[in-house]
């Protein structure tokens, strides 16, 4: 692929030299923008002559994010002859954080090659003109020490007669209508476009105004394509098309990720940031009077495959009718006088029909299989209907418990909608998730978590889940605005109705495989610090207690103080004397304590990202009279804010811990437990 070494690049409008330009009649450009570290979720991008990313490749611009983006570029660059990137505001968040704390020299961050050094698989345009394949492409991205609203460009150096201008922000009054006002746009940029008269302008930045305008005659066709998640028909209206004298032929805002905050303001539903737009293909055709451009959204590969499948089935149907005619013809004239020939032809035709019918059946089965993969309800697993569950310490009835000498429990917690990144979880007898399955608890997040449970439940005989504080964020938001009844959210079965592939424990005791397991999660209308439990109903003699918060002074040492823990829970554990306590919540205190003799071994396992050796110290092990044998905090996702405070580096939330396996062995005096990380 052509890179900085064989692309002619000039500063401003200076003349280039020494480049033999390849002249073509048609050149294609693929426009991508605002992928925010979700580049690997953009699908199978189509090939084109030129690839252009107009900024916000990352969420916070950490070295890890930019390195992964660069690696991804390396996996796709065989599809493009030239690749260009500019920086967006998010790509400088981490840099600005370090600059503001004096951890980086201003001269380093202001070096024109600063961003290029991080992106080796594409040419970074920084107030530069590149001439490739007969096109003049000028680009300028964000600058260091600027906020989210002022990129630090005055655009005076956009050369007249340029074909394509690439910026991150919008020109004023064009795809900048956010929240009833102009946002993320520039008067200076609009003036420069009138002066330089480019044919194409590519940008992003204003997510909820993703769309395009294509010149048709003296006006423009197109508009805003963005829809608030999940697929609300109302669009964020632009201020109308550009005026007729606006010089461009294609204006493309292709910010491909959604804007969760804006979506939430429209729908009342939180959804994690994800890719909602498609790459835009822009075609340049050379005429007698120069280049002319038009745009189209590229079809994802899955759509073309589905179309191909439908055409294939249609062709089989037509061939079947043709073969029916052949059979009838073969059985009649002109071979009626020769029954051997007639029979042979008829048999041959029937065999061909059978082969084609079999092919059609296989195709239909493949299609049905792909559809059925969305729902995994056909996989058998013990659920609420065959698990004995009682409220508080009430006696159970009607259950024949399977008694074993060894039972294994897999403990998972605080996956925050990153459940599909937990890897290939090991099998066990019992699966337990101790809360914060989601980031904000939207129906979309909880539905995807439930679907994922369906894909793994064949590994476990019993699955239990409790709710964490994050799992009620969206519910509380709707309650506070009167969009939901308090009675609905307070119904004990509220969370269970969203999670059909596991038993949700809500102040309940379940007895399975000889173990008594009690769990209680978060409640509606509570904040992040008070789950609303007093734990008085934990029954004495329970084997396993599952909560989301920590007991006071055990794995709760965050920022030099106790956080996310409960005095009431600690007192209840002393009273009920469970053998095992499973929880999460305090990410930077992920770890375990296993009883050994009169004391405990273990400690905090969490390391600040990226892998700093210093740990967040606990307040020492539990006292010797603490009744548990295993205390497990297994909050598996990192805590980006805490990590940043230690390392000065931002990293998106991701899975850093592994599932914890807890083994129960039955002895003469009852169950005994120990933990390990598989």
Q: What residues contact 124, with CB distance under 8 A and at least 6 apart?
A: 84, 85, 86, 87, 115, 116, 141
Res. 48: pLDDT tops 60 = yes
Q: What is the reported pLDDT for 633? A: 97
Confidence of residue 609 (pLDDT cuts 50, 70, 90): low
E strands, 13-65, are 26-32, 50-53
Give 403's pLDDT tier (boundaries 50, 70, 90): low
Please report which residue ranges of 531-577 form alpha helices under DSSP H. 567-576
How far apart (Å, rounded) are the C-alpha atoms in residues 46 and 670? 62
Mean pLDDT for 47-56 is: 98
Residue 345 has a pLDDT of 37
Higher pLDDT residue, 61 or 318? 61
pLDDT of residue 153: 66
* 678: nearest Cα among 625, 639, 634, 623: 634
Q: What fold does the segment set 8-298 form as a domain?
A: Purple Acid Phosphatase; chain A, domain 2 (3.60.21)
Tokens of 566: 């409960």
CATH superfamily, domain 400-676, is: Metallo-dependent phosphatases (3.60.21.10)
Is the model's pLDDT at 243 over the cut of 90? yes
Query: What is the chain's mean pLDDT, rounded?
Result: 80
pLDDT of the residue at 531: 60
Mean pLDDT of 634-651: 83
d(CA 291, CA 308): 33
Q: Is the pLDDT of residue 307 over 80?
A: no
What is the distance between the alpha carbons of residues 600 and 628, in angstroms, rounded to a whole number? 10
Each residue of 9-45: pLDDT tens digit?
544 433 433 444 445 789 999 999 999 999 999 999 9
How far is it, in rounded angstroms, from Cα 471 to Cα 145?
36
Per-residue pLDDT band at 259 (split at 50, 70, 90): confident
More confident site: 510 or 306: 510
How large is the average pLDDT for residues 560-577?
91
Distance CA 141, CA 61 (A): 14
Q: How many residues does the chain have?
A: 678
Contact 198, 158 (CB under 8 A): yes
Query: Cβ–Cβ contacts within 10 Å for residue 108, how many?
Result: 13
Distances (CA, A) of 579 to 42, 55, 448, 628: 47, 53, 33, 4
Residue 434: partners with Cβ closer than 8 Å, 6 or more residues away: 411, 412, 413, 414, 466, 468, 519, 546, 547, 548, 582, 583, 584, 634
User: How many CA atoms lie less than 13 Å away from 631 in the CB half-sphere?
Assistant: 30
| Residue range 152-172: mean pLDDT, rounded | 90
Residue 552 main-chain phi, psi, to 5 deg? -55, 135
Residue 527: predicted pLDDT: 65
Q: What is the DSSP letter of 212?
A: E
Determine how many CB atoms are found less than 10 A away from the CB of residue 167: 29
CA distances from 330 to 129, 349, 485 (A): 70, 9, 72
What's the average model confidence in pLDDT over 608-626? Answer: 74
Closest CA to 7 of 157, 163, 177, 137: 137
In terms of pTM, does the model score above 0.75? no
Burial of residue 382, with CB atoms counted within 10 A of its CB: 0-12 exposed, 13-18 middle, 19 or more buried: middle
pLDDT band at residue 450, thresholds of 50, 70 and 90?
Answer: very high
Check if the beta carbon of residue 632 is closer than 8 Å to that of residue 583: yes
Query: What is the pLDDT confidence band of residue 607, given thresholds at 50, 70 and 90?
Result: confident
Half-sphere exposure of 299 (CA within 13 A, CB side): 8
In the block, which residue shows the tokens 């998106």?
652
Rounded Cα distance, 456 and 381, in Å:
10
For 589, half-sphere exposure in the C-beta direction (CA atoms, 13 angstrom radius) is 30
- How distant is the alpha carbon of residue 115 from its chain centre? 25
**pLDDT score for 372:** 36
Q: Is the pLDDT of residue 316 over 80?
A: no
Position 538 confidence tier, pLDDT thresholds 50, 70, 90: very high
| Low-confidence winner among 224-228, 491-495, 540-544, 634-638 (lowest mean pLDDT) | 224-228
**Pairwise CA distance, residues 58 & 72, whole Å:** 12
Instruction: Residue 426: name the closest of 397, 393, 389, 458 by CA.
Output: 458
Highest mean pLDDT, choosing among 104-113, 410-419, 522-531 = 410-419
pLDDT for the residue 674: 96
Q: Answer for the pair 638, 656: CB distance below 8 angstroms, yes or no.
A: yes
Answer yes or no: is pLDDT of 449 > 50.
yes
**Range of weakest confidence among 52-66, 172-186, 402-416, 489-503:** 172-186
Q: What DSSP state is assigned to residue 255? A: B
Ranges of beta strands (E only) in 219-375 are 219-224, 250-253, 280-287, 290-297
pLDDT band (50, 70, 90) for residue 370: very low
Q: Is the pLDDT of residue 338 over 70?
A: no
| 166 pLDDT more than 80 | yes
Separation CA 534–CA 383 (nearest Å): 27
- Rounded Cα–Cα distance for residues 134 and 383 (Å): 65
Distance between CA atoms of residues 222 and 212, nearest Å: 5
User: Can you tell me the distance from the alpha carbon of 678 to that of 675, in angstroms, rounded to the nearest whole number?
Assistant: 10
Residue 313: pLDDT over 90: no
The yes-or-no answer to whether 8-298 and 400-676 have a common fold is yes
Residue 398 clears pLDDT 50, i.e. is over it? no
Is 81 in contact with 49 (CB distance < 8 Å)? Answer: yes
Domain definitions of the chain by residue range = 8-298, 303-372, 400-676
pLDDT at 380 over 50: no
Q: Which long-range contacts (CB under 8 A, 24 or more apart) does 270-274 make?
A: 270/439, 270/440, 270/441, 270/442, 270/445, 270/473, 270/474, 270/477, 271/229, 271/230, 271/440, 271/442, 271/444, 271/445, 272/417, 272/439, 272/440, 272/445, 273/36, 273/38, 273/59, 274/38, 274/41
- pLDDT for residue 232: 58
Q: Kindly state the helix (H) or strand (E) to which residue 327 belongs, with its residue range.
A: helix 301-331
CA 479, distance to chain mean position in Å, is 26
């Amino acid at each position: 692929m052509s890179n900085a070494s064989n692309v002619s690049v000039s500063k401003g409008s200076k003349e280039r030299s020494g480049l033999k330009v390849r002249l073509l009649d048609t050149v294609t450009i693929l426009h991508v923008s605002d992928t925010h570290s979700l580049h690997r979720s953009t699908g199978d991008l189509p090939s084109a002559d030129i690839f252009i990313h107009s900024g916000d490749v990352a969420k916070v611009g950490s070295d890890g994010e930019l390195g992964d983006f660069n690696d991804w570029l390396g996996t796709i660059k065989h599809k493009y002859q030239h690749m260009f990137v500019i920086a967006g505001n998010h790509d400088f968040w981490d840099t600005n954080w370090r600059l503001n704390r004096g951890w980086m020299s201003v001269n380093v961050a202001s070096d024109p090659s600063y961003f290029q050094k991080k992106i080796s698989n594409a040419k970074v345009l920084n107030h530069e003109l590149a001439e490739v394949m007969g096109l003049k492409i000028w680009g300028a991205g964000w600058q260091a020490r600027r906020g989210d609203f002022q990129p630090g460009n005055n655009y005076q150096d956009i050369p007249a007669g340029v074909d394509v201008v690439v910026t991150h922000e919008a020109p004023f009054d064009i795809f900048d209508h956010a929240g009833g006002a102009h946002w993320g746009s520039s008067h200076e940029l609009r003036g420069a476009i009138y002066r330089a008269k480019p044919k194409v302008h590519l940008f992003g930045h204003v997510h909820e105004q993703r769309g395009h305008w294509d010149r048709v005659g003296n006006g423009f066709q197109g508009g805003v394509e963005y829809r608030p998640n999940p697929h609300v028909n109302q669009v964020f209206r632009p201020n109308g098309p550009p005026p007729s004298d606006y010089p461009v032929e294609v204006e493309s805002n292709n910010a491909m990720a959604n804007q969760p905050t804006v979506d939430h303001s429209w729908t009342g539903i939180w959804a994690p940031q994800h890719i909602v737009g498609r790459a835009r293909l822009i075609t340049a055709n050379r005429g007698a009077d120069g280049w002319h451009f038009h745009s189209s959204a590229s079809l994802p590969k899955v759509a073309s495959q589905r179309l191909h499948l439908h055409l294939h089935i249609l062709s089989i149907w037509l061939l079947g009718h043709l073969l029916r005619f052949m059979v009838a013809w073969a059985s009649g004239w002109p071979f009626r006088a020769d029954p051997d020939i007639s029979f042979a032809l008829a048999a041959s035709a029937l065999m061909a029909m059978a082969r084609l019918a079999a092919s059609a059946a296989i195709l239909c089965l493949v299609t049905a299989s792909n559809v059925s993969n969305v729902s995994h309800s056909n996989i058998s697993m013990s659920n609420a209907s065959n698990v004995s569950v009682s409220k508080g310490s009430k006696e159970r009835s009607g259950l024949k418990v399977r008694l074993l000498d060894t039972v294994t429990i897999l403990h998972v917690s605080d996956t925050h909608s990153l459940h599909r990144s937990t890897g290939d979880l090991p099998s066990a007898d019992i699966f337990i998730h101790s809360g914060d399955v989601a980031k904000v608890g939207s129906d979309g997040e909880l539905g995807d978590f439930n679907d994922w449970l369906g894909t793994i439940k064949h590994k476990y005989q019993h699955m239990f889940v409790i709710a964490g504080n994050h799992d009620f964020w969206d519910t509380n938001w709707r309650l506070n605005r009167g969009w939901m009844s308090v009675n609905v959210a307070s119904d004990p079965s509220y969370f269970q109705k969203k999670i059909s592939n596991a038993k949700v424990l809500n102040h309940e005791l379940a007895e399975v495989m000889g173990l008594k397991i009690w769990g209680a999660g978060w409640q509606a209308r509570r904040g992040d610090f008070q789950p609303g439990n007093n734990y008085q109903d934990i029954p004495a003699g329970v084997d396993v207690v599952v909560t989301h918060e920590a007991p006071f002074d055990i794995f709760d040492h965050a920022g030099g103080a106790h956080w996310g823990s409960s005095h009431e829970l600690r007192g209840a554990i002393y009273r009920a004397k469970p053998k095992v306590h499973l929880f999460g919540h305090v990410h930077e205190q992920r770890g375990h304590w296993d009883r050994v003799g009169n004391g405990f071994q273990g400690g905090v396992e969490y390391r600040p990202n990226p892998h700093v050796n210093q740990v967040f110290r606990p307040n020492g092990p539990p006292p010797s009279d603490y009744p548990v044998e295993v205390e497990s905090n297994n909050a598996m996702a990192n805590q980006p804010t805490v990590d940043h405070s230690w390392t000065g580096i931002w990293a998106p939330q991701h899975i850093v811990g592994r599932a914890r396996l807890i083994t129960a062995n039955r002895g003469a005096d009852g169950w005994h437990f120990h933990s390990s990380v598989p």
